[in-house]
């Protein structure tokens, strides 16, 4: 996932506990992504809504969900 600096600032999380949230740190970025999805209404039954809140493209939503399924992340 790619964050714009302002978006990362809004949702940043110190995922690895080193005392700072770093946009270039993959662990921090993963935790920030989870925070962004949670804050935008992630519901396990409807992950498409939270993804759409991030990027208003149903093609993007479909692509993300397809990749998640390929990793076995969604039923």
Contacts of 48 (CB under 8 A, 6+ apart): 61, 65
Cα 44 from Cα 49, distance rounded (Å): 10
What tens digit of pLDDT does each residue of 12-31 get?
999 999 999 999 999 999 99
Query: Could you tell me the residue ranges of all domains in the chain?
Result: 1-39, 42-75
Contacts of 42 (CB under 8 A, 6+ apart): 49, 50
Residue 22 near residue 28, CB atoms below 8 Å: yes
End-to-end Cα separation, the chain, in angstroms? 21
Residue 50 near residue 34, CB atoms below 8 Å: no
For residue 1, the model assigns a pLDDT of 66
What tens digit of pLDDT does each residue of 31-68 get?
998 898 888 888 878 888 888 888 899 999 999 999 98
- The predicted model scores a pTM of 0.67
């Amino acid at each position: 996932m790619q964050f714009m600096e302002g978006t990362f600032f809004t949702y940043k999380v110190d995922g690895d506990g080193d005392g700072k949230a770093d946009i270039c740190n993959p662990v921090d970025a993963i935790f920030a992504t989870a925070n962004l999805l949670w804050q935008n209404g992630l519901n396990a039954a409807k992950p498409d809504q939270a993804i759409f809140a991030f990027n208003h493209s149903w093609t993007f939503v479909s692509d993300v969900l397809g990749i998640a399924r390929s990793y076995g992340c969604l039923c």
